[in-house]
Amino acid sequence: MTETECIFCKIVAGEIPSAKIYEDEDVVAFLDINPTTRGHTLVVPKRHVATFLEADDETIEKLIKVSRDVGKAIVKAMNADGLNIGINNGKAAGQIIFHLHFHLIPRYANDGLKCWPQGKYEEGEIEKVKEEILKVMQEK
């Protein structure tokens, strides 16, 4: 997807209306039009980058700081009990729009939403997985 086709780039450029709740020279935050809960907000870099794993350190730092500050405001304004912060990275992880974005989802004690199911490692498997990851990290 090119920047000219990206819906988030169009929102950043003002070509598509949005309910912006934060904007600076690098980042914009706006309400998700298909919210999981009231106040569900998307935080996106203005510069097009497709995924979290492709983003540079500066972009990630800015998104994290804005997400924290906007998240605090969302929790207070929505009288939420908590906040999920999520990134879907890649199609298999549920990413639909390939422009990096953080989801800020207000949560409530009895909202009925469930996160990920939990599994278990087989005997000795956790050490094998650890070693595989460490090997790749050392190649860096």
Which run of H or of E encompasses 90? none
Contacts of 75 (CB under 8 A, 6+ apart): 82, 83, 106
Catalytic residue status for 101: yes
In three-state secondary structure terms, 30 is: strand
By C-alpha distance, which of 131, 26, 122, 29 is closest to 70? 29
Q: What ranges in 79-124 are assigned the alpha helix state H?
A: none
Q: Which CATH architecture has domain 7-113?
A: 2-Layer Sandwich (3.30)
pLDDT tens profile 3-60? 678 999 999 999 999 999 999 999 999 999 999 999 999 999 999 999 999 999 999 9
Identify the active-site residue in 40, 48, 99, 101.
101
**Sequence ranges of the domains in the chain:** 7-113
Band of residue 114 on the pLDDT scale cut at 50, 70, 90:
confident
Phi and psi at residue 116, to the nearest 5°: -80, 145
